[in-house]
């Protein structure tokens, strides 16, 4: 049975990856906005922002990566929604295959396509002066945290894909997620924010994740931030997975 799951999921992943590679516009639209933000913050606002660190491109890179992932997962919701609409979801569900492979194919595709976006953005960042002293272990930790963040948001996207009643609904849920890094330590230090905003910024997941990534890129100790970041990602993942499963079972009841 488990060999079944792996083989079925492999086929589903292959199918869905083709969807990504045959509509490269989805990768381009996902990367273009974060790159635009990066240009904007680096060359327009950057000169006036006092972060107390030398290289502002280094400072904003983690936040930009999270913006990219938050916008990338909207396509995951969109692709799943299309499957539900087109009847191919029902075809798969009436076949002698592991049903879980239908959803996992989308989840794995989301991880792959977001990884592509992240690599593209880091490459563009290098051109703009992004530099890191991170060694292999730090890079592995960065990749792991980004993957966990992607996985957590992907399951949020799965809820939207399963429960939405329109294409817009299946992808628009990501807008607030894209906005979240702006009210965090991603682009400016939280010190200068007024009380309530500062309180929000310092206690939402993006700040902990951004601070962790920044520390890892700079080879600095991440301190407690890394545990807060991991707890947020794991928490979002568990809650989103539970709700997605509920939406899924309601769909196939």
Q: Cβ of residue 22: shortest distance to other proteins, in angstroms?
A: 5
Residue placing its CB nearer to other proteins in the complex, 89 or 130: 89
Which chain residues interact with other proteins by CB under 8 A? 4, 7-8, 11, 14-15, 18-19, 22-23, 86-88, 90-97, 252-253
User: Residue 73 in contact with residue 153, Cβ under 8 Å?
Assistant: yes
Q: Cβ of residue 245: shortest distance to other proteins, in angstroms?
A: 17
Q: Cβ of residue 252: shortest distance to other proteins, in angstroms?
A: 7
Look-up of token digits 């635009």: 36
String of DSSP letters for 195-225:
HHHHHHHHTSHHHHHHHHHHHHHTT---TTH
Which tokens is 155 given? 């399951």
Residue placing its CB nearer to other proteins in the complex, 47 or 87: 87
Residue placing its CB nearer to other proteins in the complex, 90 or 168: 90
User: Residue 206 in contact with residue 180, Cβ under 8 Å?
Assistant: yes
Q: Cβ of residue 107: shortest distance to other proteins, in angstroms?
A: 17
Q: Cβ of residue 97: shortest distance to other proteins, in angstroms?
A: 5
Question: What's the distance, Cα to Cα, between the start and end of the chain in Å?
Answer: 23
User: Residue 155 in contact with residue 241, Cβ under 8 Å?
Assistant: yes
Residue placing its CB nearer to other proteins in the complex, 26 or 71: 26
Burial-class residue 253 by CB neighbours within 10 Å (0-12, 13-18, 19+): exposed
Residue placing its CB nearer to other proteins in the complex, 11 or 36: 11
- How many Å apart are CA 46 and CA 61, to the nearest integer? 13
Burial-class residue 2 by CB neighbours within 10 Å (0-12, 13-18, 19+): exposed
Integer-rounded Cα radius of gyration of the chain: 19
Residue placing its CB nearer to other proteins in the complex, 131 or 249: 249
């Amino acid at each position: 049975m488990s060999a079944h799951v792996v083989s079925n999921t492999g086929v589903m992943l292959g199918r869905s990856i083709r969807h990504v590679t045959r509509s490269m516009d989805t990768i381009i639209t996902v990367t273009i906005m974060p790159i635009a933000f990066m240009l904007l913050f680096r060359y327009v606002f950057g000169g006036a922002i006092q972060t107390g660190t030398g290289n502002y491109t280094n400072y904003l890179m983690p936040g930009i990566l999270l913006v990219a992932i938050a916008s990338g997962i909207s396509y995951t919701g969109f692709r799943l929604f299309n499957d539900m609409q087109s009847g191919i979801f029902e075809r798969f569900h009436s076949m002698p295959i592991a049903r879980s492979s239908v959803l996992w194919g989308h989840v794995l595709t989301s991880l792959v396509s977001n990884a592509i976006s992240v690599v593209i953005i880091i490459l563009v960042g290098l051109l703009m002066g992004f530099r890191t002293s991170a060694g292999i272990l730090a890079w592995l930790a960065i990749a792991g945290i980004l993957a966990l963040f992607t996985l957590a948001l992907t399951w949020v996207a799965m809820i939207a894909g399963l429960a939405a009643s329109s294409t817009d609904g299946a992808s628009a849920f990501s807008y607030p997620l894209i906005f979240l890094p702006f009210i965090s330590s991603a682009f400016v230090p939280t010190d200068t924010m007024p009380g309530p905003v500062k309180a929000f910024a310092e206690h939402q997941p993006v700040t902990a994740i951004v601070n962790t990534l920044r520390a890892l890129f700079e080879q600095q100790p991440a301190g407690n931030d890394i545990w807060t970041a991991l707890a947020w990602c794991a928490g979002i993942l568990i809650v989103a997975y539970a709700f997605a499963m509920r939406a899924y079972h309601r769909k196939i009841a």
